[in-house]
């Protein structure tokens, strides 16, 4: 980034911060702050160990310095501005989750496609937080990172004192790590006149009892009930390892029977007693990868991590780090809703061809001089594929 380009982008960020409304974290005066400024790759480094005693101090800093990136610590400290970590005196920390869209499995066709995949993964994680962990929606704060993904911030008192190992266990749970299917598909003795051997019934948790067992119940029934109605059911089922035509036929018959399906929903899988447990585990294993949430474990486990400030700008995109209510998350369109700069025409020199879709428009730039809307100029400069002006 040459000096002329740096001056342009800093001025644009200063314009934004002159009127920006930030979403400050709870007890923000107890947080460590860190900033990265615009510059060449050789002279960029994190300025951290900062603290602010008032909102005014923080706003003045952002308006004056217009950093490329603004962060605060998930930790609360007694002395957040101390120059060494051991001197800060850690008190507690928010619980943070990071969904990084470019780390998700599967093919990515475009930036917009990547962000959409990230949002779907974020909604999946949200369901775990609300349904399995019981957090109230008001306690879960969603944030679009301004770049590639989404964060969840949780400041509920029940999680603030958790250490790193306990936070890793939470990530293990939502990502299905260590999930033991042997403990989910089991048997239960029932009372009656029959001998003990014949008084056992196959069981697993009912669909509304909670936890991974219930998720598996709902998946297994939903998937096989839907498949049983498909003309390709036999072909699809025999495509699973270990499932022959006879077993596939039995599964189709069971899941076409409403009474048997109703019993399955209650946790009674006796209707599947002729189906080998390994067959059910094969089908469920296929579904677990779809149900599990892909979370960046080091971010959640790090109780001294710095996280992006909602309301700030992301220095590699020029887009807003956007705080979202839970009811806003599904309809949020980052390439429109997080774009803060206008349509005024700006001259740039593109270093290489580049394509992006922003504000509902497909933008294609070729190498060389051209004019683009301001929001695109900021984005392209932040991405390092364009310089400002005609020189």
Residues annotated as catalytic are 98, 100, 296
How does DSSP assign 271-312, residue by residue? GGTTS-HHHHHHHHHHHHHHHS----HHHHH-TT-EEEPTTS
**Which residues, at least 6 apart from 146, have a Cβ–Cβ distance to it below 8 Å?**
308, 312, 313, 314, 317, 319, 320, 321, 322, 338
The three-state secondary structure class of 336 is helix
How does DSSP assign 177-194, residue by residue? TT--GGGTSEEEE--SSS
**In the sheet that 47-50 helps form, which strands lie side by side, from edge to edge?**
47-50, 33-36, 69-73, 306-308
**Which residues, at least 6 apart from 136, have a Cβ–Cβ distance to it below 8 Å?**
none
Question: How far is it, in rounded angstroms, from Cα 19 to Cα 61?
Answer: 13
150-188 burial, b at 16+ Cβ within 10 Å, e below that, comes to bbbbbbeeebbebeeeebbebbebbbeeebebeebbeee
């Amino acid at each position: 980034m040459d000096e002329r380009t740096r001056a342009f982008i800093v001025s644009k960020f200063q314009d934004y911060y002159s009127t920006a409304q930030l979403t400050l974290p709870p007890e923000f005066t107890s947080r460590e702050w860190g900033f990265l400024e615009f510059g060449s790759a050789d002279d960029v480094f994190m300025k951290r160990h900062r603290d602010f005693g008032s909102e005014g101090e923080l706003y003045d800093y952002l308006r004056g310095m217009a950093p490329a990136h603004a962060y605060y610590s998930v930790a609360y400290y007694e002395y957040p501005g101390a120059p060494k970590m051991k001197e800060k005196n850690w008190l507690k920390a928010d619980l943070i989750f990071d969904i990084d869209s470019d780390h998700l499995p599967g093919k990515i066709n475009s930036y917009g496609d990547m962000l959409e995949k990230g949002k779907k993964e974020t909604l999946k994680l949200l369901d775990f937080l609300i349904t399995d962990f019981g957090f109230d929606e008001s306690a879960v704060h969603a944030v679009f990172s301004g770049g590639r993904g989404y964060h969840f911030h949780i400041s509920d008192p029940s999680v603030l004192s958790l250490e790193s190992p306990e936070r890793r266990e939470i990530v293990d749970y939502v990502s299905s790590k260590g999930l033991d299917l042997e403990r989910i598909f089991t048997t239960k003795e029932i009372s009656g006149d029959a001998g003990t051997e014949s008084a056992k019934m196959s069981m697993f948790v009912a669909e509304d009892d909670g936890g991974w067992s219930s998720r598996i119940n709902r998946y297994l029934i939903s998937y096989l009930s839907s498949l049983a109605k498909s003309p390709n059911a036999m072909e699809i089922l025999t495509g699973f390892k270990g499932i022959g035509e006879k077993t596939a036929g039995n599964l189709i018959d069971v899941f076409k029977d409403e009474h048997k399906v109703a019993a399955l929903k209650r946790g009674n899988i006796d209707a599947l007693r002729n189906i080998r447990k390994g067959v059910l585990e094969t089908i469920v294993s296929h579904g677990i990868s779809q149900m599990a949430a892909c979370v960046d474990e080091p971010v959640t486990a790090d109780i001294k991590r710095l996280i992006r400030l909602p309301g700030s700008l992301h220095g590699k995109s020029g887009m807003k780090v956007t705080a979202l209510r839970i009811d806003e998350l599904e309809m949020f369109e980052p390439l429109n809703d997080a774009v803060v700069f206008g349509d005024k025409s700006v001259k740039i020199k593109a270093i290489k061809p580049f394509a992006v879709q922003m504000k509902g428009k497909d933008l294609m730039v070729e190498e060389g001089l051209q004019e683009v809307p301001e929001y695109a100029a900021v984005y392209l400069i932040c991405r390092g594929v364009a310089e400002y002006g005609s020189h």
